[in-house]
Amino acid sequence: MDFIEELRWRGMVHDLTPGIEKVLKNPGCSGYIGFDPTADSLHIGSLVQIMTLVHFQRAGHKPIALLGGATGMVGDPSGKSQERNLLDFDTLNKNVEGVRKQLTNFLQFSGSNSAEIVNNYDWLNTISFLDFIRDVGKHITINYMLAKDSVKSRLEHGMSFTEFSYQLVQGYDFYHLNRQKNCVIQMGGSDQWGNIVTGTELIRRKSGKEAYALTTPLIKKTDGGKFGKTEEGNIWLSKDRTSPYKFYQYWLNASDEDVASYLKIFTLFNQKEIAELIRQHEEVPHMRLAQKTLAADVTKRVHGVDELTNVLLASEILFGKATFETLNALSEETFLQVFEGVPQAQISQDLLKKGIPIIDLLVSESRFLTSNGEARREIKANAITINKTRIDEQFVLTAKHLLNERYVLIGKGKKNNFIAVFN
């Protein structure tokens, strides 16, 4: 499998430096992608870069994931319109470890082209400022640096020397990896182009060697929204930040327009398989085959097969035609696993003796809805379900409605679910 060809048909190539194809023809090259430790988890935007490394490795090359333990202390100005606050050392360390742990799930760390994870803090922290400006700064002109988009766009509103220096620091990483590990290619998102070619330039000037750059396009949604974002925020890879259920649902809700390109980027199905899948999907679009395949594949890769099983069951129950009987048939353990990630509230079981009027249940007891008025409106609009059954304002909850003698599933509309736990 040819790496560049593979990325090409997947729509994962935005730009590349000439000559790269020839170099990568022979397996065993080293290439790297940097990951910023801005949080203790990556989000699904980074998944593009992860997949790029996965393809790189599958093509027989050696992928290196670089953790920006040092560059994270400087702050990459690319794509940012404002100067950011610096992260403190402890936070950064915690983030580096979190991201490192995640990355290990995706790559192979054995074999002749085993993956490697490095932290640029390990080599940058020992370099003195004087050494750096003499050994590195001397090779790159200010004019060259100023021409970069990441700098140009900031000239009017200001930019600290710290962020201005960023491209040199990242460039040095590339140089370092080139020298130490014979790393000849750096990849990244399209916003990284400027930083990457500063690196290739530095390598050329300092060692007279050729190094290469490849960037992936920014992922867009056809409706104009930002990929990987919802009302509640980013979709993260960490289950503590985004529950596997929400994660699965995000992919499942991909639009017909986007799903083909997502399949190409985020799954390892080959060209023929994806074409066939899309063909089937278009025949029976309401089955949502493409979305289901996408969501299952990505969820499995990120969260593992056990989580996927739970999430599939949860989705089927919440969106399928579940009844009180089917819900009640779940064992308590399954029930809890399945609905992990669905918001919950604890309510005292004593209240059930008298019965809980629906309005109280929705508002004061569970805080599912914020005001009685809202609760009345939603009930009038026919939006509220208890254990998948529509109810009216007269409804009073009693012990006979409990699932597994403890739980009640409350729904608002099609997509909002809530679980009341009675203790």
Residues that bind RNA (CB under 7 A): 223, 231, 249, 252-253, 255-256, 285-286, 288, 291, 315, 319, 363, 370-374, 376-378, 381-383, 412-416
Q: Which is nearer to RNA, 88 or 232 (CB)?
A: 232
CB of 389 to RNA, least distance (A): 13
Compute the least distance from the CB of residue 397 to RNA, in Å: 18
Which of residues 215 and 299 has its CB atom nearest to RNA in the complex? 299
Q: Quote the least distance from Cβ 302 to RNA, whole Å.
A: 17
We find the least distance from the C-beta atom of residue 224 to RNA, in angstroms, to be 10
Task: Print the SS3 string covering the chain.
Answer: CCHHHHHHHCCCCCEECCCHHHHHCCCCCEEEEEECCCCCCCECCCHHHHHHHHHHHHCCCEEEEEECCCHHHHCCCCCCCCCCCCCCHHHHHHHHHHHHHHHCCCCCCCCCCCCEEEECHHHHCCCCHHHHHHHCHHHCCHHHHHCCHHHHCCCCCCCCHHHHHHHHHHHHHHHHHHHHHCEEEEEEEHHHHHHHHHHHHHHHHHHCCCCEEEEECCCECCCCCECCEECCEECECCCCCCCHHHHHHHHHCCCHHHHHHHHHHHCCCCHHHHHHHHHHHHHCHHHCHHHHHHHHHHHHHHHCHHHHHHHHHHHHHHHCCCCHHHHHHCCHHHHHHHCCCCCEEEECCCHHHHCEEHHHHHHHHCCCCCCHHHHHHHHHCCCEEECCEECCCCCEECHHHCECCCEEEEEECCCEEEEEEEC
Nearer CB in complex with RNA: 381/399: 381
Q: How far is the CB of 346 from RNA (least distance, A)?
A: 21
Query: By C-beta, is 118 or 363 nearer to RNA?
Result: 363
Of 288 and 300, nearer to RNA (C-beta) is: 288
- Given its phi and psi angles, is residue 97 left (phi above 0), alpha (psi -120 to 50 degrees) or beta? alpha
The token duo for 386 is 């208890």
Of 111 and 320, nearer to RNA (C-beta) is 320
State how far the Cα of 369 lies from the Cα of 361, in Å rounded to an integer. 9
For residue 248, give both structure tokens. Answer: 């699965």
Closest CA to 118 of 178, 42, 43: 178
Q: Shortest approach of RNA to residue 230 CB, angstroms?
A: 9
Least distance between RNA and beta carbon 361 (Å): 14
In the bound state with RNA, the residue whose beta carbon lies nearer, of 141 and 364, is: 364
Please identify, using beta-carbon distances, which residue of 102 and 249 lies nearer to RNA: 249
Nearer to RNA, 83 or 374 (CB): 374
Of the pair 87, 313, the CB lying nearest RNA is at: 313
Structure tokens at 415: 């997509």
Q: How far is the CB of 237 from RNA (least distance, A)?
A: 20
Distance separating the N- and C-terminal Cα atoms of the chain: 58
To RNA, the closest distance from the beta carbon of 383 in angstroms equals: 3
Q: Of 111 and 413, which CB lies nearer to RNA in the complex structure?
A: 413
Sequence-distant (6+) residues with CB within 8 A of 420 are 344, 345, 347, 361, 365, 366, 368, 407, 408, 410
Q: Tell the smallest beta-carbon distance from residue 289 to RNA (Å).
A: 9
CB of 261 to RNA, least distance (A): 15
